[in-house]
């Protein structure tokens, strides 16, 4: 079980917590999720800074941060079985069909062919936790997409529940949809030898996770600081192919050690530009 930081659309998240569970742990155990969230928040709060705040003031403000149980943390969950939600979302002129608003794309701009609506008032949520909302996204499938039997009038419906009471519908839906970035980071961590734990004991595999976590963090910060554009979203396999496994030759001269790369390779441009960005960073 892992938790990752979100550094925005063009950045890659770093691991905040990796919790290794026993093989006989129940799949719906809330205690492990709470522990992972607590460790992740502790990592974030440890590095928080306020403008003009000295160390003493930082410690005083940090000491007043309420525990996880007292904090208002937004939680969203995708509703896998939402056939009845689609029935509420379509065709009712007095319901959400008359309240669709345009959805946002990844840049926060209005996206053509996608809408969102709040159908909380049309559902019986008596057995749900207080304050939960159900938001539905309606969109036209992209060109070449295989239509499903559950698609209605050529539109695809996706519903999710969220406990955030404030915020625009389009913004909340975009926040939930960006969870795909976390899935990318988890897939990248699995490619960084976290897929199959090699040892037998739980304690030994916990040490293995302690080694993998810094490796994932180094990859994330290297992409954020040294790379630009689509290279910031490269996964470990492509990073190894384009940057880490490029052949070169070490040359010594003038009491300096130089790395010589082939000038006719496209990877050479990426590598030299990355080193230039790192050298331009302030040392303080």
Considering 116, 146, 163, which residue would you say is the last residue of a domain? Answer: 163
Q: Indicate the residue among 163, 198, 221 that finishes a domain.
A: 163
Please report whether residue 236 resides in a domain: no
Domain boundary pick from 114, 135, 163: 163
SS3 of 85, please?
A: helix
**Domain assignment of residue 62, yes or no:** no
User: What is the average pLDDT score of the chain?
Assistant: 76
Residue 229 in tokens = 């554009």
Beta strand spans in the chain (E):
2-4, 15-18, 76-79, 101-104, 110-118, 133-139, 156-162, 248-253, 256-261
Q: Whole-model pTM?
A: 0.63
**Residues spanned by the domain of 97:** 75-163
pLDDT over 70 (residue 64):
no
Q: Is residue 46 part of a domain?
A: no
Q: What percent of the chain has pLDDT over 70?
A: 75
179 in a structural domain: no
229 within a domain of the structure (yes/no): no
| 126 assigned to some structural domain | yes
Residue with tokens 């070449």: 144
Give the pLDDT band (50/70/90) at residue 46. low
Domain annotation covers residue 109: yes
What pLDDT was estimated at residue 38? 84
- Residue 91 pLDDT level (bands cut at 50, 70, 90): very low
Q: Is residue 55 part of a domain?
A: no
| pLDDT reported for residue 4 | 76
Contacts of 260 (CB under 8 A, 6+ apart): 248, 249, 250, 251
- Overall domain count for the chain: 2
Mean pLDDT of 196-203: 83
């Amino acid at each position: 079980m892992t938790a990752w930081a979100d550094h925005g659309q063009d950045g890659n998240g770093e691991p905040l917590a990796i919790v290794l569970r026993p093989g006989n742990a129940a799949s719906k155990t809330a205690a492990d999720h709470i522990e992972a969230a607590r460790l992740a928040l502790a990592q974030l709060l440890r590095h928080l800074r306020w403008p003009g705040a000295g160390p003493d003031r930082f410690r005083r403000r940090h000491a007043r941060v309420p525990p996880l149980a007292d904090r208002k943390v937004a939680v969203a969950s995708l509703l896998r079985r939402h056939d009845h939600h689609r029935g509420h979302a379509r065709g009712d002129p007095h319901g959400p069909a008359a309240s669709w608003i345009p959805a946002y794309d990844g840049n926060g701009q209005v996206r053509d062919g996608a809408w969102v609506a709040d159908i909380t008032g049309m559902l019986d949520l008596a057995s749900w936790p207080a304050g939960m909302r159900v938001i539905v996204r309606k969109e036209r499938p992209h060109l070449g997409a295989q239509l499903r039997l559950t698609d209605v009038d050529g539109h695809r419906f996706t519903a999710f529940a969220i406990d955030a009471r404030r915020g625009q519908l389009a913004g909340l839906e975009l926040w939930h949809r960006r969870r795909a970035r976390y899935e990318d980071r988890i897939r990248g961590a699995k490619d960084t030898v976290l897929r199959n734990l090699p040892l037998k004991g739980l304690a030994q595999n916990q040490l293995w996770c302690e080694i993998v976590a810094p490796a994932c963090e180094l990859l994330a910060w290297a992409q954020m600081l040294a790379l630009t554009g689509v290279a910031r979203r490269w996964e470990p396999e492509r990073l190894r192919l384009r940057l880490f496994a490029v052949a070169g030759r070490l040359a010594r001269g003038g009491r300096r050690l130089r790395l010589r790369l082939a000038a006719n390779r496209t990877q050479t441009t990426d590598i030299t530009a990355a080193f230039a960005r790192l050298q331009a960073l302030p040392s303080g």
